[in-house]
Amino acid sequence: MNKLKERWGIDSNWQIFIILVVFAITGSVSAKLAEPLCNFLGIYQTTSHWAVYWSVRIFLIFPIYQVLLVSFGWIFGQFQFFWAFQKKMLSRLGLAKLFQQ
């Protein structure tokens, strides 16, 4: 646990617990929200080719996850951690210009 606290720059085990809860909730909710969006776009699991359905669904999950991660982080009082995490993750994907001012 100490390694994780040091790596993430946090102080308590409670923060680790909250952060892991936020990651879990965000992943579940973003995956759940992607299905109605696929249906809205007319891409159904039963009628579409599996590769098309899952490619679109995963493509939709990514931006939903980004927004929800910071939102749930704010709700749980960990906005600073998740905002820094978000910037670091997006910069690794080459999208750092989105955050430059």
Average pLDDT over residues 47-71: 93
pLDDT at 99: 59
Task: Say what the pLDDT of residue 96 is.
Answer: 65
**What is the average pLDDT across 54-59?**
93
Residue 15's pLDDT band (boundaries 50, 70, 90)? very high
Q: Is the pLDDT of residue 87 over 70?
A: yes
The parent domain of residue 82 ranges over 2-99
| pLDDT score recorded for residue 38 | 93
Burial of 90 from C-beta contacts in 10 A (0-12 / 13-18 / 19+)? middle
Domain count, the chain: 1
